Structure 1
Amino acid sequence: MRAARLGDDDAFAEVVARHGPALYHYALRLVGGSAADATEATQEALISAWRSLEAFEGRSSLRTWLLRLVHRRAADLQRHRRPTPIDDDLLSTMARPARDNPLQSVLDAELLAALQAALDELPWHQRAAWLLREVEGMSYDEIAETLAIPVGSVRGHLHRGRKTLTLRMERWR
Protein backbone atom coordinates (compact mmCIF):
# COMPACT_ATOMS: atom_id res chain seq x y z
CA MET A 1 0.00 0.00 0.00
CA ARG A 2 2.86 2.36 0.75
CA ALA A 3 4.26 1.92 -2.75
CA ALA A 4 0.82 2.50 -4.26
CA ARG A 5 0.48 5.73 -2.24
CA LEU A 6 3.77 6.86 -3.78
CA GLY A 7 2.32 6.40 -7.27
CA ASP A 8 3.50 2.87 -8.09
CA ASP A 9 0.89 1.55 -10.55
CA ASP A 10 2.15 -2.03 -10.19
CA ALA A 11 1.70 -1.88 -6.42
CA PHE A 12 -1.90 -0.74 -6.80
CA ALA A 13 -2.44 -3.49 -9.38
CA GLU A 14 -1.31 -5.94 -6.68
CA VAL A 15 -3.85 -4.45 -4.24
CA VAL A 16 -6.56 -4.90 -6.90
CA ALA A 17 -5.47 -8.46 -7.66
CA ARG A 18 -5.40 -9.37 -3.97
CA HIS A 19 -8.66 -7.72 -2.87
CA GLY A 20 -10.67 -7.29 -6.08
CA PRO A 21 -12.37 -10.70 -6.14
CA ALA A 22 -13.57 -10.39 -2.53
CA LEU A 23 -14.81 -6.86 -3.18
CA TYR A 24 -16.71 -8.03 -6.25
CA HIS A 25 -18.31 -10.97 -4.41
CA TYR A 26 -19.40 -8.72 -1.54
CA ALA A 27 -20.87 -6.22 -4.01
CA LEU A 28 -22.59 -9.04 -5.90
CA ARG A 29 -24.32 -10.26 -2.76
CA LEU A 30 -25.13 -6.77 -1.61
CA VAL A 31 -26.77 -5.62 -4.85
CA GLY A 32 -28.86 -8.75 -5.15
CA GLY A 33 -26.91 -10.75 -7.68
CA SER A 34 -26.68 -8.23 -10.51
CA ALA A 35 -23.28 -8.79 -12.10
CA ALA A 36 -23.46 -5.44 -13.88
CA ASP A 37 -24.21 -3.54 -10.65
CA ALA A 38 -21.54 -5.47 -8.74
CA THR A 39 -18.96 -4.74 -11.43
CA GLU A 40 -19.91 -1.07 -11.48
CA ALA A 41 -19.78 -0.75 -7.67
CA THR A 42 -16.42 -2.54 -7.50
CA GLN A 43 -14.88 -0.53 -10.32
CA GLU A 44 -16.14 2.76 -8.89
CA ALA A 45 -14.78 1.82 -5.46
CA LEU A 46 -11.36 0.93 -6.87
CA ILE A 47 -11.24 4.16 -8.87
CA SER A 48 -12.16 6.04 -5.72
CA ALA A 49 -9.46 4.17 -3.80
CA TRP A 50 -6.85 5.06 -6.42
CA ARG A 51 -7.85 8.72 -6.36
CA SER A 52 -7.88 8.94 -2.58
CA LEU A 53 -4.92 6.82 -1.55
CA GLU A 54 -3.67 9.69 0.56
CA ALA A 55 -6.95 9.60 2.54
CA PHE A 56 -6.22 6.08 3.75
CA GLU A 57 -4.66 6.68 7.14
CA GLY A 58 -4.21 3.07 8.15
CA ARG A 59 -6.55 3.29 11.16
CA SER A 60 -8.45 0.32 9.75
CA SER A 61 -7.25 -2.55 7.62
CA LEU A 62 -6.95 -2.01 3.89
CA ARG A 63 -9.64 -4.67 3.35
CA THR A 64 -12.07 -2.84 5.63
CA TRP A 65 -11.42 0.48 3.89
CA LEU A 66 -11.95 -1.06 0.44
CA LEU A 67 -15.14 -2.87 1.56
CA ARG A 68 -16.43 0.43 2.89
CA LEU A 69 -15.84 2.07 -0.49
CA VAL A 70 -17.66 -0.80 -2.23
CA HIS A 71 -20.50 -0.55 0.27
CA ARG A 72 -20.93 3.16 -0.44
CA ARG A 73 -20.94 2.66 -4.19
CA ALA A 74 -23.41 -0.23 -3.95
CA ALA A 75 -25.66 1.85 -1.69
CA ASP A 76 -25.61 4.66 -4.26
CA LEU A 77 -26.64 2.20 -6.97
CA GLN A 78 -29.42 0.72 -4.85
CA ARG A 79 -30.86 4.13 -4.08
CA HIS A 80 -31.43 4.61 -7.79
CA ARG A 81 -32.57 1.09 -8.71
CA ARG A 82 -35.25 -1.34 -7.70
CA PRO A 83 -34.08 -4.34 -5.67
CA THR A 84 -33.37 -7.54 -7.59
CA PRO A 85 -33.33 -11.08 -6.20
CA ILE A 86 -30.10 -12.74 -5.13
CA ASP A 87 -28.78 -15.40 -7.48
CA ASP A 88 -29.02 -18.90 -5.94
CA ASP A 89 -25.43 -19.58 -7.01
CA LEU A 90 -24.22 -16.86 -4.63
CA LEU A 91 -25.83 -18.57 -1.67
CA SER A 92 -24.84 -22.08 -2.67
CA THR A 93 -21.60 -21.76 -0.72
CA MET A 94 -23.65 -21.47 2.46
CA ALA A 95 -25.29 -24.88 2.07
CA ARG A 96 -23.28 -28.00 1.33
CA PRO A 97 -24.46 -29.50 -1.98
CA ALA A 98 -25.97 -32.96 -1.99
CA ARG A 99 -23.93 -35.24 -4.24
CA ASP A 100 -25.93 -38.45 -4.63
CA ASN A 101 -29.35 -37.55 -3.25
CA PRO A 102 -31.76 -35.88 -5.71
CA LEU A 103 -34.31 -35.22 -2.96
CA GLN A 104 -31.68 -33.45 -0.88
CA SER A 105 -30.69 -31.38 -3.92
CA VAL A 106 -34.30 -30.22 -4.30
CA LEU A 107 -34.54 -29.41 -0.59
CA ASP A 108 -31.25 -27.49 -0.72
CA ALA A 109 -32.52 -25.48 -3.70
CA GLU A 110 -35.74 -24.68 -1.86
CA LEU A 111 -33.78 -23.66 1.24
CA LEU A 112 -31.59 -21.32 -0.81
CA ALA A 113 -34.65 -19.83 -2.53
CA ALA A 114 -36.28 -19.21 0.86
CA LEU A 115 -33.08 -17.63 2.21
CA GLN A 116 -32.84 -15.47 -0.90
CA ALA A 117 -36.40 -14.26 -0.46
CA ALA A 118 -35.81 -13.54 3.24
CA LEU A 119 -32.59 -11.62 2.52
CA ASP A 120 -34.35 -9.59 -0.18
CA GLU A 121 -36.84 -8.39 2.42
CA LEU A 122 -34.24 -7.18 4.91
CA PRO A 123 -33.57 -3.44 5.05
CA TRP A 124 -30.29 -2.37 3.45
CA HIS A 125 -28.14 -2.05 6.61
CA GLN A 126 -29.47 -5.29 8.12
CA ARG A 127 -28.69 -7.13 4.91
CA ALA A 128 -25.22 -5.57 4.62
CA ALA A 129 -24.37 -6.29 8.26
CA TRP A 130 -25.58 -9.89 7.95
CA LEU A 131 -23.57 -10.49 4.77
CA LEU A 132 -20.43 -8.96 6.25
CA ARG A 133 -20.73 -11.02 9.44
CA GLU A 134 -22.03 -14.36 8.18
CA VAL A 135 -20.51 -14.52 4.69
CA GLU A 136 -17.39 -12.36 4.96
CA GLY A 137 -16.69 -13.35 8.59
CA MET A 138 -15.92 -9.79 9.70
CA SER A 139 -15.86 -8.69 13.34
CA TYR A 140 -18.37 -6.20 14.69
CA ASP A 141 -15.68 -3.52 14.74
CA GLU A 142 -14.78 -4.19 11.11
CA ILE A 143 -18.44 -4.09 10.10
CA ALA A 144 -18.88 -0.79 11.94
CA GLU A 145 -15.87 0.64 10.12
CA THR A 146 -17.07 -0.68 6.76
CA LEU A 147 -20.62 0.64 7.13
CA ALA A 148 -19.50 3.85 8.90
CA ILE A 149 -21.88 3.25 11.80
CA PRO A 150 -21.32 2.71 15.53
CA VAL A 151 -20.69 -0.84 16.81
CA GLY A 152 -23.96 -0.62 18.77
CA SER A 153 -25.82 -0.03 15.52
CA VAL A 154 -24.12 -3.05 13.98
CA ARG A 155 -25.33 -5.15 16.90
CA GLY A 156 -28.85 -3.78 16.46
CA HIS A 157 -28.91 -4.36 12.70
CA LEU A 158 -27.60 -7.90 13.15
CA HIS A 159 -30.07 -8.64 15.93
CA ARG A 160 -33.07 -7.40 13.94
CA GLY A 161 -31.84 -9.05 10.73
CA ARG A 162 -31.25 -12.39 12.44
CA LYS A 163 -34.63 -12.18 14.16
CA THR A 164 -36.37 -11.54 10.84
CA LEU A 165 -34.43 -14.30 9.11
CA THR A 166 -35.22 -16.71 11.95
CA LEU A 167 -38.93 -16.01 11.59
CA ARG A 168 -38.87 -16.26 7.80
CA MET A 169 -36.83 -19.48 7.86
CA GLU A 170 -38.88 -21.13 10.64
CA ARG A 171 -40.13 -23.97 8.45
CA TRP A 172 -36.53 -24.95 7.66
CA ARG A 173 -35.56 -25.55 11.30
Structure 2
Amino acid sequence: MSSSADLLEDASAPDGPVTDGTLLRAARLGDQGAFRQIVDRHGPGMYRYARTLVGHEQDAGDVLQEAFVSAWKNLPTFRGESSLKTWLFRLVHRRAMDHHRTRRPVPVTEEVFADVVADVSGDPVRQAESRELLADLRRCLGELPETQRACWLLREVEGMSYQDIGDTLGLPVGSVRGQLHRARTTLAERMSRWR
Protein backbone atom coordinates (compact mmCIF):
# COMPACT_ATOMS: atom_id res chain seq x y z
CA MET A 1 0.00 0.00 0.00
CA SER A 2 1.33 3.42 -0.96
CA SER A 3 1.77 6.16 1.58
CA SER A 4 0.66 9.70 0.84
CA ALA A 5 4.31 10.74 0.50
CA ASP A 6 4.83 8.03 -2.14
CA LEU A 7 1.75 9.26 -4.03
CA LEU A 8 2.99 12.84 -4.05
CA GLU A 9 6.54 11.83 -4.92
CA ASP A 10 5.38 9.68 -7.85
CA ALA A 11 3.12 12.46 -9.08
CA SER A 12 5.70 15.23 -8.92
CA ALA A 13 7.66 13.87 -11.83
CA PRO A 14 9.14 16.36 -14.29
CA ASP A 15 5.99 15.93 -16.45
CA GLY A 16 4.14 18.65 -14.56
CA PRO A 17 2.33 19.60 -11.37
CA VAL A 18 0.63 17.21 -9.01
CA THR A 19 -2.94 16.47 -10.12
CA ASP A 20 -6.04 17.07 -8.02
CA GLY A 21 -6.65 13.32 -8.02
CA THR A 22 -3.25 12.63 -6.51
CA LEU A 23 -3.68 15.33 -3.89
CA LEU A 24 -7.14 13.99 -3.08
CA ARG A 25 -5.85 10.44 -2.59
CA ALA A 26 -3.04 11.67 -0.34
CA ALA A 27 -5.40 13.90 1.67
CA ARG A 28 -7.76 10.96 2.14
CA LEU A 29 -4.85 9.14 3.75
CA GLY A 30 -4.61 12.01 6.24
CA ASP A 31 -1.85 13.99 4.54
CA GLN A 32 -2.44 17.56 5.73
CA GLY A 33 0.24 18.87 3.37
CA ALA A 34 -1.69 17.51 0.40
CA PHE A 35 -4.84 19.14 1.72
CA ARG A 36 -2.97 22.44 2.11
CA GLN A 37 -2.00 22.16 -1.57
CA ILE A 38 -5.69 21.68 -2.43
CA VAL A 39 -6.50 24.77 -0.37
CA ASP A 40 -3.73 26.77 -2.06
CA ARG A 41 -4.84 25.64 -5.53
CA HIS A 42 -8.60 26.15 -5.22
CA GLY A 43 -8.93 28.55 -2.29
CA PRO A 44 -8.53 31.83 -4.24
CA GLY A 45 -11.34 31.02 -6.68
CA MET A 46 -13.53 29.68 -3.90
CA TYR A 47 -12.94 32.83 -1.85
CA ARG A 48 -13.73 35.04 -4.85
CA TYR A 49 -16.99 33.13 -5.38
CA ALA A 50 -17.88 33.27 -1.67
CA ARG A 51 -17.13 37.00 -1.57
CA THR A 52 -19.37 37.55 -4.56
CA LEU A 53 -22.22 35.62 -2.96
CA VAL A 54 -22.02 37.02 0.59
CA GLY A 55 -20.53 40.45 -0.07
CA HIS A 56 -18.19 40.92 2.89
CA GLU A 57 -14.59 39.79 3.25
CA GLN A 58 -15.05 38.50 6.79
CA ASP A 59 -18.24 36.61 5.91
CA ALA A 60 -16.58 35.19 2.81
CA GLY A 61 -13.65 34.04 4.94
CA ASP A 62 -16.06 32.34 7.33
CA VAL A 63 -17.91 30.66 4.45
CA LEU A 64 -14.61 29.51 2.94
CA GLN A 65 -13.34 28.17 6.25
CA GLU A 66 -16.59 26.28 6.86
CA ALA A 67 -16.38 24.83 3.34
CA PHE A 68 -12.81 23.61 3.86
CA VAL A 69 -13.63 22.14 7.28
CA SER A 70 -16.52 20.31 5.66
CA ALA A 71 -14.25 19.16 2.81
CA TRP A 72 -11.64 17.78 5.22
CA LYS A 73 -14.29 15.93 7.24
CA ASN A 74 -16.03 14.57 4.14
CA LEU A 75 -13.03 13.54 2.03
CA PRO A 76 -13.70 9.85 2.69
CA THR A 77 -17.27 10.15 1.38
CA PHE A 78 -16.42 12.14 -1.77
CA ARG A 79 -17.21 9.67 -4.54
CA GLY A 80 -15.56 11.56 -7.37
CA GLU A 81 -18.72 11.84 -9.47
CA SER A 82 -17.66 15.42 -10.18
CA SER A 83 -14.27 17.07 -10.20
CA LEU A 84 -12.66 18.07 -6.92
CA LYS A 85 -13.00 21.74 -7.91
CA THR A 86 -16.73 21.33 -8.57
CA TRP A 87 -17.25 19.58 -5.23
CA LEU A 88 -15.37 22.33 -3.37
CA PHE A 89 -17.37 25.08 -5.09
CA ARG A 90 -20.57 23.20 -4.21
CA LEU A 91 -19.52 23.26 -0.55
CA VAL A 92 -18.88 27.01 -0.75
CA HIS A 93 -22.24 27.54 -2.45
CA ARG A 94 -24.08 25.60 0.26
CA ARG A 95 -22.36 27.49 3.07
CA ALA A 96 -23.08 30.80 1.32
CA MET A 97 -26.76 29.86 0.96
CA ASP A 98 -26.84 29.01 4.68
CA HIS A 99 -25.36 32.45 5.30
CA HIS A 100 -28.08 34.07 3.12
CA ARG A 101 -30.81 32.49 5.20
CA THR A 102 -29.66 34.57 8.16
CA ARG A 103 -28.52 37.74 6.36
CA ARG A 104 -29.48 39.91 3.43
CA PRO A 105 -27.31 39.57 0.28
CA VAL A 106 -24.91 42.37 -0.57
CA PRO A 107 -24.13 43.58 -4.11
CA VAL A 108 -21.16 42.19 -6.05
CA THR A 109 -17.93 44.11 -5.53
CA GLU A 110 -15.78 45.45 -8.34
CA GLU A 111 -12.73 43.42 -7.26
CA VAL A 112 -14.35 40.30 -8.73
CA PHE A 113 -13.99 41.84 -12.19
CA ALA A 114 -10.47 43.21 -11.83
CA ASP A 115 -9.14 40.64 -14.33
CA VAL A 116 -12.01 41.22 -16.76
CA VAL A 117 -11.49 44.95 -17.33
CA ALA A 118 -8.45 46.05 -19.30
CA ASP A 119 -5.73 48.01 -17.51
CA VAL A 120 -6.46 51.69 -18.06
CA SER A 121 -4.13 53.03 -15.38
CA GLY A 122 -2.66 55.77 -17.59
CA ASP A 123 -5.94 57.22 -18.84
CA PRO A 124 -8.15 59.04 -16.29
CA VAL A 125 -11.14 59.17 -18.65
CA ARG A 126 -11.02 55.43 -19.32
CA GLN A 127 -10.53 54.79 -15.58
CA ALA A 128 -13.72 56.69 -14.83
CA GLU A 129 -15.58 54.82 -17.59
CA SER A 130 -14.31 51.48 -16.26
CA ARG A 131 -15.43 52.33 -12.72
CA GLU A 132 -18.85 53.32 -14.01
CA LEU A 133 -19.13 50.18 -16.14
CA LEU A 134 -18.20 47.98 -13.19
CA ALA A 135 -20.65 49.79 -10.92
CA ASP A 136 -23.45 49.19 -13.44
CA LEU A 137 -22.49 45.55 -13.86
CA ARG A 138 -22.33 45.06 -10.10
CA ARG A 139 -25.77 46.66 -9.69
CA CYS A 140 -27.29 44.58 -12.51
CA LEU A 141 -25.81 41.35 -11.14
CA GLY A 142 -27.18 42.18 -7.71
CA GLU A 143 -30.66 42.47 -9.22
CA LEU A 144 -30.55 39.02 -10.87
CA PRO A 145 -32.30 36.10 -9.18
CA GLU A 146 -29.83 34.15 -7.05
CA THR A 147 -29.55 31.09 -9.34
CA GLN A 148 -29.02 33.19 -12.46
CA ARG A 149 -26.38 35.22 -10.66
CA ALA A 150 -24.57 32.10 -9.41
CA CYS A 151 -24.63 30.48 -12.87
CA TRP A 152 -23.31 33.65 -14.51
CA LEU A 153 -20.50 34.08 -11.96
CA LEU A 154 -19.41 30.44 -12.15
CA ARG A 155 -19.34 30.56 -15.96
CA GLU A 156 -18.05 34.05 -16.72
CA VAL A 157 -15.76 34.69 -13.75
CA GLU A 158 -14.68 31.18 -12.69
CA GLY A 159 -14.75 29.64 -16.20
CA MET A 160 -16.62 26.48 -15.19
CA SER A 161 -18.25 24.21 -17.74
CA TYR A 162 -22.04 23.87 -17.84
CA GLN A 163 -21.73 20.39 -16.36
CA ASP A 164 -19.55 21.62 -13.49
CA ILE A 165 -21.97 24.47 -12.79
CA GLY A 166 -24.84 22.00 -12.73
CA ASP A 167 -22.93 19.75 -10.37
CA THR A 168 -22.03 22.70 -8.14
CA LEU A 169 -25.57 24.06 -7.93
CA GLY A 170 -27.43 20.74 -8.12
CA LEU A 171 -29.08 21.63 -11.44
CA PRO A 172 -29.46 19.71 -14.70
CA VAL A 173 -27.29 21.06 -17.52
CA GLY A 174 -30.41 22.20 -19.39
CA SER A 175 -31.42 24.32 -16.43
CA VAL A 176 -27.92 25.82 -16.26
CA ARG A 177 -28.19 26.76 -19.93
CA GLY A 178 -31.60 28.34 -19.33
CA GLN A 179 -30.43 30.25 -16.26
CA LEU A 180 -27.36 31.52 -18.11
CA HIS A 181 -29.43 32.53 -21.12
CA ARG A 182 -31.85 34.49 -18.93
CA ALA A 183 -28.98 36.10 -16.99
CA ARG A 184 -27.14 37.08 -20.16
CA THR A 185 -30.31 38.42 -21.79
CA THR A 186 -31.17 40.50 -18.72
CA LEU A 187 -27.61 41.80 -18.39
CA ALA A 188 -27.45 42.62 -22.12
CA GLU A 189 -30.68 44.64 -21.86
CA ARG A 190 -29.67 46.46 -18.70
CA MET A 191 -26.10 47.08 -19.87
CA SER A 192 -27.07 48.09 -23.44
CA ARG A 193 -25.67 51.60 -23.04
CA TRP A 194 -22.16 50.10 -22.80
CA ARG A 195 -22.22 48.46 -26.23
Give the alignment's TM-score, normalised by structure 1.
Answer: 0.94
Amino-acid identity (%) = 55
**Distance in 1, Cα, partners of 2:89 & 2:186:** 25
1:26 corresponding residue in structure 2: 49
Give CA-to-partner distance per residue, 1:94-137, whole Å, 9 cap, x none.
21131322111111110000000000001111011000000111
Q: How many residues align?
A: 172
Which of the residues 57, 63, 85 maps onto 2:107?
85
**TM-aligned CA deviation for residue 89 of structure 1:** 2.3
Structure 2 contact 53–105 (Cα < 8 Å) conserved: no
Alignment partner of 1:57 is 2:79: yes
Q: Could you say which structure has the greater relative contact order, defined with CA pairs below 8 angstroms and 6 or more residues apart?
A: 1
Which residue number corresponds to residue 68 of structure 1? 90
Matched AA of 2:59 = D
Instruction: Confirm or deny: 8 A CA contact 1:129 1:154 kept in the other structure.
Output: yes
Spell out, residue by residue over 1:120-162, the C-alpha distance to the aligned partner (whole angstroms, 9 max, x if none): 0011110110000001111100100111111111011101111
**Runs (4+) off by over 6 Å:** none
Q: Per-residue deviation at 1:86?
A: 2.0
Cα separation, 1, equivalents of 2:138 and 2:194: 13
Q: Distance in 2 between matches of 1:156 and 1:46?
A: 30
Contact 1:30/1:131 (8 A) holds in 2: no
Larger Cα-atom Rg:
2
Partner of 1:109: 131
Structure 2: runs of 5+ lacking an equivalent:
1-23
Aligned to 2:6: none
Cα distance per residue 1:1-53 (max 9 Å; x no partner): 11211222222122112211221111112223x10121111111100001111
Q: Please, which of 27, 32, 38 is the counterpart of residue 15 of structure 1? A: 38
- Once residues 50 and 126 of structure 2 are traced to their aligned partners in structure 1, the CA distance between those partners, rounded to angstroms, is 29
Separation of aligned partners in 2, 1:101 and 1:167: 28
